[in-house]
Amino acid sequence: MRAHIGDQLVVESPSTGAVRRDGEIVGVAHEDGTPPYEVRWVDTDEVTLVFPGPDAHVQHFSHQPEAERPRTEAAVSDRPSHWPLDPGDVGRRVAHERRRQRLTRAELAERSGISASYLAYLEERPANPTSDTLNGLAGALGTTVRQLRGGGIDLPPGDAEAGYHPRLLELDPEECRARLSTHGVGRVAVTTADGLAVVPVNYEVVDGAIAYRTAPGTLPAAAAGTDATFEVDHIDDAMSQGWSVLVRGPARAVTDPEAVRRLTKEAHSKPWAGGERQLWVLIEPRRVTGRRIQTD
């Protein structure tokens, strides 16, 4: 039996032919593609080491000629595989720490006792590595399993070191609007008798305007009738990257019953604060600016 990364391992009963279990092969132990394999099972989403028996067979992910397929772990060690990049949180933290220590995938895989092909999979796709794998990676990276799992996620962002060759870049208006539409929580600045207050709100982007729901007499409601300032940002502490978008413009309370019904019907979520919050406030963007930090 020979297999490659991305092939499917199917285990079925020889007597009935009924499929019992299948999974994606995410790690190959030997250069010639012979077992054992690290398999991510469809039914449990777990990765286990498998020595296939007579009731198992391999379904290849493509008809690519054998000679053209990657045959060594080094071939997939330090470049993206054929998978679309969509790393899970553990994989992102592993990749970040590996790059910070200037290790190749092959070096980290050897130190942690896993295959370079599975390490590539882990860094590029959502994965649920076993405790042994996490312990090996943590030991090789000089960190802890808790840190790889995001144990410090509740700590305030900004404690990470600056990334390699950081650059502060301006976002054009189109990029700003695109980022505004990806988020659901922002902050509105309100001037009160006691000074400036900044409060978080759940928001929607409706016809290019910022819309949020609140209750009369609250701080967010006080923005109506003023030139408001609204801000949303995203911080990626593991990668020392982030962006922010600032919106300035007149804010008004929505009083038309039909407009209120439409906003309420099309809202993606309810205010996290709960309670009766039937007052909609719209901020018409007159000026939109943004910045992002990019690292190599």
Q: Quick check: 64 pLDDT over 50?
A: no
Residues 15, 104, single domain; the answer is: no
pLDDT at residue 198, rounded to an integer: 93
pLDDT at residue 49, rounded to an integer: 80
Which of the given ranges, 10-14, 126-130, 170-174, has the highest pLDDT on average? 170-174
Given a contact cutoff of 8 angstroms between Cβ atoms, the answer to whether 192 and 219 are in contact is yes
pLDDT at residue 141, rounded to an integer: 92
Residues 93, 206, single domain; the answer is: no
Which of the given ranges, 27-36, 123-132, 228-237, has the highest pLDDT on average? 228-237
1 occurs within a structural domain: no
34 occurs within a structural domain: yes
Q: Quick check: 234 pLDDT over 80?
A: yes
Q: Domain of residue 267: give its range.
A: 167-294
Instruction: Using alpha carbons, select from 165, 229, 170 the residue that is nearest to residue 197.
Output: 229
Given a contact cutoff of 8 angstroms between Cβ atoms, the answer to whether 61 and 6 are in contact is yes
At which of 68, 86, 108 does a domain end? 68
Q: Quick check: 74 pLDDT over 90?
A: no
Residues 79, 52, single domain; the answer is: no
At which of 20, 43, 68 does a domain end? 68
Band the pLDDT of 158: cuts 50, 70, 90.
Answer: low
What CATH number should be reported for the domain holding residue 264? 2.30.110.10
Residues 197, 259, single domain; the answer is: yes
Give percent above pLDDT 70 in the chain: 80
159 occurs within a structural domain: no
220 occurs within a structural domain: yes
pLDDT at residue 237, rounded to an integer: 65
Q: Quick check: 54 pLDDT over 70?
A: yes
What CATH number should be reported for the domain holding residue 136? 1.10.260.40
Residues 51, 78, single domain; the answer is: no
* pTM of the complete model: 0.49
Residues 282, 246, single domain; the answer is: yes
153 occurs within a structural domain: no
Residues 86, 192, single domain; the answer is: no
d(C-alpha 273, C-alpha 270), whole Å:
9
At which of 106, 121, 148 does a domain end? 148
Query: Measured on CA atoms in the order 139, 143, 144, 148, is the torsion positive or negative?
Result: negative
pLDDT at residue 67, rounded to an integer: 35
186 occurs within a structural domain: yes
162 occurs within a structural domain: no
20-29, 33-42, 150-159, 173-182: least confidently modelled range: 150-159
Report the domain count for the chain.
Answer: 3
Higher pLDDT: 36 or 70? It is 36
